[in-house]
Amino acid sequence: MLPLLLLAAAAGTSCAQEATSTWQGTFRVGEEGHRAVMQITEENGGHKNVKTLYLDFFPETIKIDSSTFEQSHLAVVTNEGKGAYAAEFSPDGSTLQGTWTWRDHSANLVLHRVSNEAAWNVPLNYQYHFKDTTYARPAPQEPRIPFVPRLAVDYMEQGAIAWTGEKQCVACHTNGTYMVVRPLMTPELGAPQQAMRDFWVAELRSALTADPAKRNGNFDGTQAVYLAAGLAIWDAHVLHRLSPETAQALQLMFEFQRPAGDWFIEDDNNPPFESSPYQVATVAARAVANAPGWLQQQSGTPIAAHVELLKHYLQTPGKMQGDYDRTDLLWTASEYPGLLDERQKRELVNMIFAHQQFDGGWSMRTFAAPEQWGKGNRADKLRAELEFPFPQSDGHMTGLAIIALRKAGVPANDPHIQRGIQWLLANQRSSGRWWTRSLNRDGWQFISYSGTAYPLLALSLCNALPSF
């Protein structure tokens, strides 16, 4: 589910408009304050009309049915009567004191008259929002800046918390990426946020208590894999011991394994993560490889056969997302002993070298043909992109390529890696992110989250992440 930006427009507008006033305020839902912006037009003759109403974090698009002004009173009705705002103007006309009602729920909403510039100072068109921090949707026009590690780390930390707090679900593109990447940077950045592990454990307990016959209704194999991987990697790099929760999560993960050795993806139309059973299987193998001592404990148990099935699946790949999944395979094989031999690893290293672009970076779009991503359902979109003949380097693939190379033992001073590091240092954007255009849809660009977490890990593995 995507974050919602709600835009309301009154039905019918008059060309006789004289002026527009802008009003801004907040209303609370639990502990969180959410912004509201309303615009009122005044036409010739003094007739007023609520033109637009914008609300942060709302479950439906707001559509204004009517607005009525009677002396100092304003009444707005929306969404065929489901929503309403009733308010009184202050004597000086600078404030609206009122109540916003949606179905059976009400909240105080005070709006103050402000300049249009002040109202839109913080964009409502957000990707992540956490407390007083809002990250707008990434865009290629965002200015490049000299590398500032703190900005990137803040984005990684706050994006994960914002998604988790708002959506309350495991998503591979945001908090899933956080849990499988952030613990690896504990030596440089300190321990990851305990709140994230607490959420993982709560999700695990919820899944364990659910009726197994109904699990796939709200919880699928991909989520089981990311729960196990996040907890296992946390154990390896933060706790330095196997936790009971990780053992339970791995058991649950293999309960979801399919006979082919892979895992079901509920919506496999979202490349590169949520579209390839092979890619998900590499995450499952990283869970197995990282859980301290767990694999050795499975010898002679029923689960050992499931582990071998996973290993066989990765060693005899069928449909893959081209060289992208092979890059993930190299990362995984570097942590999972015996998955690939040295010759096979060297072939994958050379493959990644061959994809490096003239500017030193790597582009996700060169690692698979448009039809190879997921079901090929985004092929038309990818071929229609103006930069299709000459794909730009991006943060996600540059970070992932360096991670895989370093994990495979390529030294940090290798010229390929050094050119990649220089690209990362020169291409951070003013929000702290690295731009990565989605393979999926040109909407929220959630791939820019891993497009920031991967570069940070890549820099860390090359001792190029400055202290701060």
Q: What is the pLDDT of residue 154?
A: 96
Q: Which residues of 136-154 are buried (b: 16+ CB within 10 A; e: fewer)?
A: ebbeeebeeeebebebbbb
Q: What is the pLDDT of residue 2?
A: 26
Note whether 5-124 and 137-461 share their fold: no
Q: Which ranges constitute the DSSP H helices of 408-439?
A: 415-426
CA distance 39 to 50: 6
CA distance 261 to 266: 16
Which tokens belong to 110? 């005070």
3-state secondary structure of 316: coil
CA distance 461 to 2: 32
Cis peptide before 272 (omega within 30 of 0): yes
Fold of the domain built from segment(s) 5-124: Lipocalin (2.40.128)
pLDDT tens across the length of the chain (468 residues) = 222 233 333 333 333 445 888 898 888 766 566 778 888 988 777 788 998 888 765 656 678 999 999 989 999 999 899 999 999 999 999 999 999 998 888 889 999 998 876 665 555 667 887 776 778 888 898 999 999 999 999 999 999 999 998 888 999 999 999 999 999 999 999 999 999 999 999 999 999 987 766 555 446 889 999 999 999 999 999 999 999 999 999 999 999 999 999 998 887 778 999 899 999 999 999 999 999 999 999 999 999 999 999 999 999 978 899 999 999 999 999 999 999 999 999 999 999 999 999 999 999 999 999 999 988 888 999 999 999 999 999 999 999 999 999 999 999 999 999 999 999 999 999 999 999 999 988 878 999 999 999 999 999 999 999 876
Element (H, E) at 8: strand 5-9
Q: Which ranges constitute the DSSP H helices of 29-148?
A: 116-119
CATH number of 137-461: 1.50.10.10
Q: Which residues of 16-51 are buried (b: 16+ CB within 10 A; e: fewer)?
A: eeeeebbbbbebeeeeeebbbbbbbbeeeeeeebbb
Domain boundaries, the chain: 5-124, 137-461
Q: What is the pLDDT of residue 220?
A: 80
Q: What is the pLDDT of residue 15?
A: 39
Which tokens belong to 335? 């942590």
Q: What is the pLDDT of residue 123?
A: 55
Query: Within a 10 A sphere around the Cβ of 206, how many other Cβ atoms?
Result: 11
